[in-house]
């Protein structure tokens, strides 16, 4: 018996010395790599036959994966053990150095041709574990065990992440012949193994197969946008069966408002809250009404919180008035004022404040949400921010929060953080988990504020938009992209067809007037 440590003595070198012309090679391992074939190409070309058994189900169809297996190439490979074993055909994660040589196509072509002539692959179809080993069967038998996989790493030619990679070589004919018998016993058991040679060849062929420009284009698109595919599921995208696209409010929206409404619904479903921060004059009210109508069609209870001076604007659309252009949509949301959170008696637009069930709203829309930018505790009493959080959002049913503000940040990035906290009920870990950020929400905003403060101290010629964008961390933009929608008029004109909208009004330059102190000419004015 000989111990191969894959440091001073490499398994690949030993196989080169052991394999003779006309030998038969039998391997039971978890995976097969074309780079292992490349390393032993000279020896493998002269053997009589290779019999290979995948020790766990590999390249065999299942109820879940059968559809995927029919594809000529798997652009997306789920990271489970089985898929990792199958993807090892093209090279494992530890063979990246070999893959970077860009000779994969030539190796795959030679390997596929060799497999058709001399190799047969079978796979274990059961969940029972199978011992991993290799046997060189010729004039004399030599067995190697354990053999984790047939890759360049297992042969000792590339470094893996294993603490040790010892392999025992058994030269004794009597002992090694027992491994030959074990292999043949499994190989002939049709109840345990199934031939997958054709599947292996098809997968290897896909490496060097010429693809159409269209397929390459779609592959590029996938790799650019695959992170957003998680958002495209029925749980978070608007449900067309509600009929929201047939409502009066929806058909009053411009195309950029429809995009915003769809995005808001998506973000509300995925992150439980978001901020619409479009510039003044871009129709945040109508966009919000479309979102509110969508949730009303799903039998959700909706509350609109706004400053008192704006209440008439919202009340116009949920009452039976001649001025209500959306009377046919029969809006049924409640309207209350920011200040009503502090009141415990009286009425607000006909609603008795001492009996209102604050915790029963599925969606809360907050107009001018920057009024809730401060979360500074006050001794002996709850602030309005805390009352909103405790009475409306945390209490009762799970509440989604849509915030409207053209100026969500007044002085500090903390203003934005406090508003976003309403969406995740103050539990920042919940949002961090959904966003998959590397840092907590508090840390992200602290770092952003620090970067902004440093930027303001720069010389005027250095204080450029590019400088602040480079200073801010990527996680900060991830948060903004996930839970905010903010567009300017210039953005709309650049990225949308504005034929239906027409031109935005041209803002006139301000005129300065200076009134004289007196019209008398005999005194100094």
CA distance 363 to 295: 8
292: nearest Cα among 305, 283, 302 = 302
Q: Write the pLDDT tens digit of every residue in 384-401.
A: 888 899 889 988 899 999
Higher-pLDDT residue of 57, 505? 57
CA-CA-CA-CA torsion for 6, 10, 11, 12, nearest 10 degrees? 140
Residues 6+ apart with CB under 8 A from 205: 108, 112
pLDDT band at 402 (very low <50, low <70, confident <90, very high): very high
Amino acid 230: pLDDT? 63
Whether domain 240-495 has CATH 1.20.58.340: no
Average pLDDT value for residue range 472-491? 89
pLDDT in tens, 319-365: 999 999 999 999 999 999 999 998 888 889 888 988 999 999 999 99
3 state SS for 335-359 = EEEHHHHHCCCCEECCEECCCCCHH
Span 141-190, pLDDT tens digits: 899 999 989 999 999 998 888 888 899 999 888 888 999 999 999 999 99
Asked if the model's pLDDT at residue 90 lies above 70, the reply is no
The 10s digit of each residue's pLDDT in 191-200 is 999 999 999 9
Here the tokens at position 61 are 């169809």
Structural domain boundaries of the chain?
2-210, 240-495
Alpha carbon distance 71, 222 (integer Å): 16
Q: Fold identical between 2-210 and 240-495? A: no
* Per-residue model confidence (pLDDT) at position 357: 92
Q: So what's the pLDDT on residue 81? A: 55
HSE at residue 284, side-chain half, CA atoms within 13 A, is 24
* Bridge partners of residue 26, in order along the sequence: 51, 135
Q: Has residue 264 got a pLDDT over 60? A: yes
CA distance 260 to 118: 60
40, 11 in Cβ contact below 8 A?
no
Q: What share of the chain is helix, strand, coil (3-state, %, to 5)?
A: 45, 15, 40
Residue 63 neighbours by CB under 8 Å, 6+ apart: none
Q: Is the pTM of this model over 0.85?
A: no
Residue-level pLDDT at 301: 94
Residue 282 has pLDDT above 50, yes or no: yes
Query: What mean pLDDT do residues 438-463 have?
Result: 89
Find the farthest-apart pair of alpha carbons in the chain and give their distance in angstroms, rounded: 129
What length is written for the chain? 525
- Helix and strand numbers (H, E) in the chain are 21, 16
Convert the pLDDT of each residue in 41-77 to its tens digit: 999 999 999 999 999 888 877 544 444 444 444 444 4
Are 54 and 147 in contact by the 8 Å Cβ rule? The answer is: no
Which CATH number fits the domain 2-210, given the four candidates 1.10.3470, 3.30.870, 3.40.50, 1.10.10? 3.30.870
Distances (CA, A) of 416 to 4, 38, 394: 61, 57, 19
């Amino acid at each position: 018996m000989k111990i191969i440590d894959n440091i001073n003595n490499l398994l690949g070198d030993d196989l080169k010395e052991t394999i003779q012309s006309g030998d038969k090679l039998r391997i039971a391992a978890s995976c097969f790599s074309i780079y292992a074939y490349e390393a032993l190409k000279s020896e493998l070309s002269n053997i009589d036959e290779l019999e290979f058994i995948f020790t766990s189900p590999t390249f065999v169809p299942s109820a879940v994966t059968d559809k995927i297996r029919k594809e000529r190439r798997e652009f997306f490979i789920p990271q489970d053990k089985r898929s990792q074993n199958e993807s090892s055909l093209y090279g494992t994660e530890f063979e990246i150095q070999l893959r970077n040589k860009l000779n994969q196509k030539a190796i795959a072509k030679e390997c596929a041709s060799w497999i058709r002539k001399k190799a047969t692959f079978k796979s274990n179809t059961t969940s029972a574990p199978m011992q991993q080993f290799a046997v060189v069967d010729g004039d004399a038998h030599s067995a190697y065990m354990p053999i984790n996989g047939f890759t360049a790493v297992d042969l000792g030619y590339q470094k893996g992440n294993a603490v040790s990679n010892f392999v025992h070589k058994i030269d004794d004919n009597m002992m090694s012949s027992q491994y030959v018998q074990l292999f043949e016993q499994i190989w002939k058991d049709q109840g345990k193994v199934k031939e997958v040679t054709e599947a292996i060849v098809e997968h290897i062929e896909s490496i060097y197969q010429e693809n159409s420009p269209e397929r390459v284009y779609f592959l590029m698109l996938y790799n650019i946008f695959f992170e957003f595919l998680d958002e495209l599921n029925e749980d978070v995208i608007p449900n067309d069966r509600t009929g929201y696209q047939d409502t009066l409010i929806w058909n009053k929206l411009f195309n950029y408002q429809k995009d915003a409404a769809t995005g808001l619904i998506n973000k509300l479903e995925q992150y439980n809250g978001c901020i619409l921060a479009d510039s003044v004059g871009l129709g945040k009210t109508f966009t919000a009404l479309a979102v509110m109508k969508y949730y009303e069609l799903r039998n959700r209870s909706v509350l609109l919180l706004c400053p008192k001076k704006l209440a008439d604007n919202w009340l116009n659309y949920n009452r039976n008035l001649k001025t209500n252009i959306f009377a046919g949509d029969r809006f049924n949301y409640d309207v209350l004022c920011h200040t009503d959170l502090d009141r415990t008696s009286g009425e607000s637009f006909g609603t008795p404040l001492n009996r209102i069930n604050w915790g029963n709203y599925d969606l809360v829309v907050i107009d001018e949400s920057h009024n809730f930018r401060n979360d500074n505790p006050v001794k002996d009493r709850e602030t309005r921010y805390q009352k909103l959080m405790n009475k409306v959002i945390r209490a009762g049913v799970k509440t989604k929060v849509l915030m409207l503000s053209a100026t969500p940040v007044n002085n500090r990035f903390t203003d934005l953080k406090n508003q976003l906290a309403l969406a995740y009920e103050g539990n920042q870990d919940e949002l961090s988990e959904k966003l998959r950020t590397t840092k907590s929400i508090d840390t992200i905003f602290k770092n952003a504020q620090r970067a902004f403060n440093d930027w303001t101290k720069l010389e005027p010629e250095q204080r450029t938009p590019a400088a602040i964008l480079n200073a801010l961390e990527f996680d900060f933009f991830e948060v903004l992209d996930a839970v905010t929608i903010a567009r300017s008029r210039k953005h709309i004109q650049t990225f949308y067809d504005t034929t239906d909208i027409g031109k935005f009004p041209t803002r006139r330059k301000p005129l300065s007037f200076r009134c004289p102190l007196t019209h008398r000419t005999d005194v100094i004015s």
